[in-house]
Amino acid sequence: MLKIAAWNVNSIKARLPNVIGWLDEAKPDVALLQEIKTIDDGFPLMEIQAAGYKHCAICGQKTYNGVAILSRLPLTEVRRGLPDEPEDQQARYVEAVVDGRVRVASVYVPNGNPVETEKFPYKLRWMENLRRHAARLLVEGDLPLVIGGDYNVCPTDDDVYDPEGWANDALCRPESRAAYRALLWLGLTDTFRALHKEPHRYSFWDYQGGAWQRDLGLRIDHLLLSGSALDRVQACDIDKRPRGKEKASDHTPVWCELDL
């Protein structure tokens, strides 16, 4: 059994005690992190490896963004960045093969707000590049595929606490949802939603306005699985516990278990 989790940690240095504590408690075999907010050399590799994650693939950036793969098992075929964004200076994608058994990717999709700025077209362009790369992986690859992370998209109104209030936000705009569905049409599956039909289960709660205490959340962190990975899924859920900790990230992990 292989447990894979995705978590936007909102600064690996600021949340390191929480991250180490959760890794020790939840014991994922692979953790896909987003918003590590540090360059590669600043990543707390010693502490992460001491927690049992000897194999790490990091794609960092100073102050903003940054993604990583932490693994108890060997990583090969590491790719940093999307091939169709060769000049992209934002660290948002890292991919690797875990122990020769499954290909994983940690993704941090652009937020896209404000929608009237260049940030929204950039989000849509980035998602289209992700779609093209995922399509190649599905056609060319012979391994199960897991693309997990912060997609910055609420797929439906069931995934946001106030659909009307968020209707014009980049996370809920029809264009963003269409770009997300385009990934699903490739043959990927939103694994949490496949196993959990109940609405209003969230993975993100803003720091403002008592959002966490009032459960005013969004489901924007997703694990998208290929058919061969989905066939092996034994469980998938959202772990809300880290969001209730002191100095918590505003996101919480989503995880799945694969019988590989």
Q: Of 41, 26, 18, nearest to 243 (Cα)?
A: 18
C-alpha 209/C-alpha 88 separation (Å) is 34
Instruction: Please provide the distance, in angstroms rounded to a whole number, between the alpha carbons at the two ends of the chain.
Output: 6
Q: Are 92 and 68 in contact (CB under 8 A)?
A: no
Say whether 161 is catalytic. no
Q: Which two tokens stand for residue 124?
A: 């849509």
Q: Are 110 and 165 in contact (CB under 8 A)?
A: no
Catalytic residue among 53, 108, 151, 180: 108
Q: Which two tokens stand for residue 85?
A: 């964004």
Catalytic residue among 150, 159, 190, 250: 150
Q: Are 243 and 211 in contact (CB under 8 A)?
A: no
Say whether 64 is catalytic. no
Catalytic residue numbers, as ranges: 108, 150
